[in-house]
Amino acid sequence: MNEVALDLERLRQEIGEVPDPEVPVLTIADLGVLRSVEEVAGRVVVTITPTYSGCPAMSHIAERIAAVLDMHAVEGEVRTVFSPAWTTDWMSDDGRRKLTEYGIAPPHRAPAGDVLVAIRPPVHCPRCGSADTRLVSEFGSTACKAHYSCRSCSEPFDYFKEL
Amino acid sequence: MTTTTTTPLITFLLRTADDNLVLAQRLGALLARMPELEEDIAVANVCLDHLGQARSLYAHAAMLEGLGRSEDDLAMLRDERQFLNATLVEQPDVDFAHTIVRQFFVDAYQVPFYDVLCGASDPVLAGIAEKAMKEARYHLRRSATWVVRLGDGTEESHDRTQAAVDLLWRYTGDLLALDEIEETLVADGVLPSLDGVRGVFDATVASVFAEATLTLPTDPYQRLGGRAGVHTEQFGHLLPEMQRLYRSHPGARW
Ligand SMILES: [Zn+2]
């Protein structure tokens, strides 16, 4: 492995550690928002993809990445791509575990087919593990979450909704 | 500023962006005014998705145009006749039922519409559509659930929802209408055929309305014109409010 390749790998690690400002327990690597870190014509190109079209965290994440590049005096840029579209299926197992520990139920596999007839498996309460939960609202405190409530322990909780 | 849309693709991008921006403006005005906290949060999130879709589409249109205009310039410095949104999205929020029915019609349209756009030959447009379709599917899940809950709810909620359908149905034709812009894009191989969108829309509306015990108006009248910049009176109130700040402080930045 040559020197450039080594540096890129280290840079990828470090950029991957940038936290999601809305769910700080997750990094952009956990989320799958970080798509690639490559060298193109002597410059480093970092490619990210938004979780939602209007995700207000994207510009913040891009700034944090640029700061990492700056810190290492690396010439580069951050690019945003929409395709392939982000899906919660990209979330790492580590990310799912961290979410549950944080009190947010991790996402199911993304549904396919007719959205109106899709059967949704039960969401388990991240606190007590019960499957006896109910959807309070399709939307929660941020675009990526839905709001649930647990019938067993009576606690409200967020579900990182599958997309 | 004069109309500078130069290609069918730019016009098409503006039509789609304007649908999303104008709807986002309506939804944004509802913040802190929804009947319950959960719906306030929901409407904020749906608003943000539409705004995000609009921004991506404007940015792409501005890039293709190559005139140095920004996404903000396209949103804030065009005049009423230059806006190409379907008139449905500019209709006011008379009550919660109107908000939900308007959203449901938009969602039922956007799911098959973005599905077609995923096959666009322009990779940026296809990418925006791929992202937006996932959001539209989620929006539809919420709005369809509400339409059934309200329509098949109390007498009061049923009547208000039926009244919203009776008023808003005439504006759905504008969403679904295809003219020489789309025909050119399809003929040139830029877009796959959009002919199937209406069928999917009609089937979604029929199945949800059957469950919601709602009926479509028998009057076939459709008010068209939004795609050519001919808007309803309501738009004349919405636009200055949306653009006032940007126009009052040229060049201002956050
Ligand atoms: Zn519980």
Ligand 1 centroid from CA A127, angstroms: 5
- Which residues from chain A sit within 8 angstroms of residue B135, using beta carbons? 52-53
pLDDT value of residue B35: 87
Q: What is the mean pLDDT of chain B?
A: 95
**Are both A27 and A63 inside the same structural domain?**
yes
Q: What is the pLDDT of residues B30-65, one digit of tens each?
A: 999 998 888 999 999 999 999 999 999 999 999 999
Q: For residue B193, what pLDDT is reported? A: 98
Residue A1 forms part of a structural domain: no
Per-residue confidence band for B6, with pLDDT thresholds at 50, 70 and 90? confident
In a domain, B2, yes or no: no
Burial B83-122, CB ≥16 within 10 A → b, else e: bbbbbbbbbebeebbbbbbbbbbbbbbbbbbbbbbbebeb
What 3-state class would DSSP assign to B35?
A: coil
ipTM higher than 0.85? no
The residue of chain A with its CA nearest to that of B131 is: A85
**pTM summary value:** 0.91
* Residues of chain B positioned with their CB less than 8 A from the CB of A141: 41
3-state secondary structure of B169: helix
And the tokens for B136?
A: 């539209």
**Does A117 lie in the same domain as A140?**
yes
B27–chain A nearest CA distance, Å: 14
- Of residues B147 and A122, the one with the higher pLDDT is B147
Residue A95 has pLDDT above 50, yes or no: yes
Per-residue pLDDT, A1 = 41
Q: Is residue A29 part of a domain?
A: yes
Cα distance between residue B182 and residue B11, in whole Å? 10
Residue-wise pLDDT for B201-215, tens only, equals 999 999 999 999 999
Residues A105 and A60 in one domain: no
Q: What residues in chain A have their Cβ under 8 A from chain B's Cβ atoms?
A: 50, 52-56, 81-87, 115-116, 136-143, 147, 161, 163
Stretch A141-153: mean pLDDT: 90
Chain B residue numbers with beta carbons less than 8 Å from the beta carbon of A56 are 48
User: What region, left, alpha or beta, does residue A103 occupy, with left being phi > 0 and alpha being psi -120 to 50 degrees?
Assistant: left
Do A59 and A113 share a domain, yes or no? no
Give the burial class of A17: count Cβ atoms within 10 A of its Cβ; 0-12 exposed, 13-18 middle, 19 or more buried. middle
Name the DSSP letter for residue B57. H
- CB neighbours of A119 closer than 8 A, spacing ≥ 6? none
Check A55 against B51: CB less than 8 A apart. Answer: no
User: Helices B96-117 and B155-168: crossing angle, nearest 10°?
Assistant: 50
Give the pLDDT of residue A2: 47
Q: How confident is the model at residue A117 (pLDDT cuts 50, 70, 90)?
A: low
pLDDT at B251: 79
Question: CB-based burial of residue A44 (10 Å sphere; 0-12 exposed, 13-18 middle, 19+ buried)?
Answer: buried
Classify residue B25 as exposed, middle or buried by CB count within 10 Å of its CB (0-12, 13-18, 19+). Answer: buried
Is the confidence at residue A5, as pLDDT, over 80?
no
**pLDDT over 90, % of chain B:** 94
Q: For residues B73 and B34, give the distance between their C-alpha atoms in angstroms, rounded to a whole number.
A: 31
Residues A98 and A46 in one domain: no
Residue B254 lies in a domain: no
Tokens found for residue A102:
């944080």
Query: Which pLDDT does position A6 carry in this prediction?
Result: 55
Task: Print burial letters for A131-144: b (CB count within 10 Å at least 16), e (below 16).
Answer: eebeebbbbbebbb
Domain end call among A64, A86, A108: A86
Give residue A118's pLDDT band: very low, low, confident or very high (50, 70, 90).
Answer: low
Instruction: Tell me how far apart the terminal alpha carbons of chain A are, to the nearest angstrom.
Output: 38
Task: Answer yes or no: do B126 and A83 touch at CB < 8 A.
Answer: yes
**CATH number of the domain within which B76 lies:** 1.20.1260.10
Looking at the structure of chain A, the number of domains it has is 2
Q: Could you tell me the residue range of the domain that residue A79 belongs to?
A: 8-86
Cβ(B197)–Cβ(B172) below 8 Å: no
For the cut 60, the answer to whether the pLDDT of residue B125 exceeds it is: yes
Q: Which residue of A has its CA nearest to B129?
A: A82
B2 has a pLDDT exceeding 60: no
The minimum CA-CA distance between A117 and chain B, rounded to whole Å, is 9
Rounded CA gap, A38 and A160, in Å?
30
How large is the greatest C-alpha to C-alpha distance in chain A, in angstroms? 57
